[in-house]
Amino acid sequence: MYVDGWLARAVAAHPRRIALETTGERWSYAQLHDAADIGARELRRRGAAPGARVAIALAPGLGFAQALHACLLLGAVAVPVDQRLTPAEQASIAAGAAVLVDEPLPPPGKGAPGVAGGTGVALGGGAHEEPLLAKHRLGAVAAVIHTSGTSAAPRPVELTYGNFLWSALGSAVALGLEREERWLCTLPVSHVAGLSILVRSCIYATTAVVHERFEADRALHALRDGDVTIVSVVATTLARLLDAGLEHPPALRCALAGGGSVPPGLMARAREHGLPVALTYGLTEACSQVSTTPLAALGEPRRGSRQTAGPPLFCTRVRIASDGEILVSGPTVAPGATAGDGWLHTGDLGELDDGGRLAVAGRRADTIVSGGENVAPAEVEAALESHPDVLEAGVVGRSDARWGEIVTALVVVRPGTQVTVEELRAHCARTLATYKTPKQVTLVSEPLPRTASGKLLRRELAESSAHQRR
């Protein structure tokens, strides 16, 4: 199945609307289309073609957006490369690409070949040029995104145009869509959550406000004075925004919080400061969101003792396997990610409540087996983080001759507070079974190791825990 090109539709309907805004610079849809057209022809000159991979090793911003949309116009496959990785890691991700873009492509200018000056409407190729693609085939691969690598090396995931389209539609149904939407992205565009904001905004013909990295002061200014209507956050960035003084941002409809668990205390604090936080659960193989708390449900009282990430997107099916694993199917799931039974086996554990809302318990591979009993680290972390003096907590299993593994926690306390290990263990014992209560708690001052998307790096956490015991 084919659909009209997203950028072409956007520029035809709203040529002067701002497509992309960065620090001190902005492009209308007409300008973005002109830039993408020039970029696509440059990529073709360098040897790219429909279906060929193009590695984009650029920081978030106008240059990255131009290269991304140039790939989509050409039908090439975009492969974002995380600029924070080592040169060897970047080379591994870019391996096999027909073209590497590590410098910005030629910018749009007057009289650019094949472009009607200032309109953003392509006139078609020259006498010896094939025209660029006017449509997207939904089954074709649009991008290759690498997983965050929290428990293993990053894996490439091929996401299709159909995956991105259905994800955008499902998100719009859950969160609504404003005519003048301005979605703030401070997440890495090399990861699916950040990249999806750029693609989703183009599908909607709305504005993406892109920061090269998260900086609390810049994000605070954008939320206070930049008419931002939606922002994507993880627990650490949400906490930093609150610490910086964010409250009752005037235009904000939703702060979409994902990338891992959000402590209940942080959620309560956000609500007290007038932030409409919607929890979401997603993963690369499902093109970002799997389940999301609908905007209409943000004011409803919380049901049960566990936080949920809302119901599945309207186009997505979720079921829980007999061992508690979350299984996902639907048009947002990458075709190569499903097992023989047609389901994406996420490796995450969870439950569906009576209302069909998903509560995520953590990674199955992270499960601690202590004395024959299974312990989900995320559940223990949530108990620790419910203490008012705890900023964040990470839980891992430590080998033990008697129990097999024991529950071990590293805890970062809030600055200016004092809490003892005994107090924290007693706090956990009020809500957790004895075998789940940490047998060892270590208080640390440095932030816990996390990916850019906010997920705990448990391998590094376990190494840190072992180092603390020496």
Residue 467 pLDDT level (bands cut at 50, 70, 90): low
The confidence score (pLDDT) of residue 84 equals 83
Give dist(CA 190, CA 83) in Å, integer.
Answer: 8
Q: What is the residue-averaged pLDDT of the chain?
A: 89
Domain boundary assignment for the chain: 1-137, 154-364, 367-469
More confident residue, 376 or 256: 256
Class of the CATH domain delimited by 367-469: alpha beta
pLDDT at 192 over 70: yes
Give dist(CA 262, CA 373) in Å, integer.
Answer: 25
pTM for this predicted structure: 0.84
Fold match between 154-364 and 367-469? no
pLDDT at 110 over 60: no
The confidence score (pLDDT) of residue 150 equals 53
pLDDT at 111 over 50: no
347 CB neighbour count, 10 Å cutoff: 15
And the tokens for 235? 């627990």
Residue 410 pLDDT level (bands cut at 50, 70, 90): very high
And the tokens for 366? 């992270």
Q: Quick one: CA torsion of 173, 357, 235, 243, rounded to 10 degrees?
A: 80
Q: What is the DSSP string of 120-173?
A: --B----TT-PPPPSEEETTSEEEEEE---SSSS--EEEEEHHHHHHHHHHHHH
Mean pLDDT for 158-182 is: 97
Pairing of strands 230-233, 182-185: parallel
And the tokens for 461? 């956490």
pLDDT at 241 over 60: yes
Fill in the DSSP letter of residue 258.
Answer: -
429 CB neighbour count, 10 Å cutoff: 14
Q: Under 8 Å CB-to-CB from 21, ≥6 apart: which residues? A: 182, 207, 208, 209, 210
- Taking only the tens place, the pLDDT of each residue in 66-102 is 999 999 999 999 999 998 888 888 999 999 999 999 9
> Nearest 5°: phi and psi at 284?
-55, -45
More confident residue, 451 or 214: 214
Closest CA to 192 of 242, 258, 132, 129: 258
For residue 112, which amino acid is it? A
pLDDT at 113 over 80: no
43, 18 Cβ separation under 8 angstroms: no
129, 41 Cβ separation under 8 angstroms: yes
Mean pLDDT for 320-341 is: 96
> Nearest 5°: phi and psi at 158?
-90, 115
pLDDT at 116 over 60: no
Q: Under 8 Å CB-to-CB from 146, ≥6 apart: which residues? A: 82, 93, 154, 155, 156, 157, 190, 284
Residue 465 pLDDT level (bands cut at 50, 70, 90): low
Class of the CATH domain delimited by 1-137: alpha beta
Q: Is 442 exposed, middle or buried (0-12, 13-18, 19+ CB in 10 A)?
A: middle
The confidence score (pLDDT) of residue 462 equals 74
The confidence score (pLDDT) of residue 404 equals 82
Cα dihedral sign, 304-306-310-311:
negative
Q: Under 8 Å CB-to-CB from 321, ≥6 apart: which residues? A: 327, 345
pLDDT at 273 over 80: yes
Mean pLDDT for 146-172 is: 87
Q: Under 8 Å CB-to-CB from 129, ≥6 apart: which residues? A: 41, 44, 114
The CATH number assigned to the domain with range 154-364 reads 3.40.50.12780
The confidence score (pLDDT) of residue 188 equals 92
pLDDT at 144 over 70: yes
H-run or E-run covering 257: strand 254-257
The confidence score (pLDDT) of residue 6 equals 97
Give dist(CA 253, CA 206) in Å, integer.
Answer: 15
Give dist(CA 409, CA 108) in Å, integer.
Answer: 53
DSSP H helices in 353-398: 377-385
Give dist(CA 81, CA 62) in Å, integer.
Answer: 16
196 CB neighbour count, 10 Å cutoff: 28
| Helix and strand element counts for the chain (H, E) | 12, 24
And the tokens for 79? 């492969």
pLDDT at 242 over 70: yes
Residue 126 pLDDT level (bands cut at 50, 70, 90): very low
Q: In what order do the strands lie in the sheet with 390-400?
A: 390-400, 404-413, 440-444
The confidence score (pLDDT) of residue 303 equals 61
Mean pLDDT for 196-202 is: 98
pLDDT at 114 over 60: no
Q: What percent of the chain has pLDDT over 90?
A: 67
The confidence score (pLDDT) of residue 147 equals 84
For residue 190, which amino acid is it? S
Residue 128 pLDDT level (bands cut at 50, 70, 90): low
> Nearest 5°: phi and psi at 275?
-100, 120
Mean pLDDT for 118-123 is: 38
- Taking only the tens place, the pLDDT of each residue in 20-30 is 999 889 999 99
The confidence score (pLDDT) of residue 334 equals 98
Mean pLDDT for 432-461 is: 86
Residue 459 pLDDT level (bands cut at 50, 70, 90): confident
Mean pLDDT for 288-314 is: 84
Minimum mean pLDDT range among 35-39, 207-211, 432-436: 432-436
- Taking only the tens place, the pLDDT of each residue in 346-368 is 999 999 999 999 999 888 888 89
Pairing of strands 230-233, 2-4: unpaired
More confident residue, 325 or 153: 325
Q: Is 45 exposed, middle or buried (0-12, 13-18, 19+ CB in 10 A)?
A: exposed
pLDDT at 46 over 80: yes
The confidence score (pLDDT) of residue 370 equals 87
Mean pLDDT for 388-395 is: 91
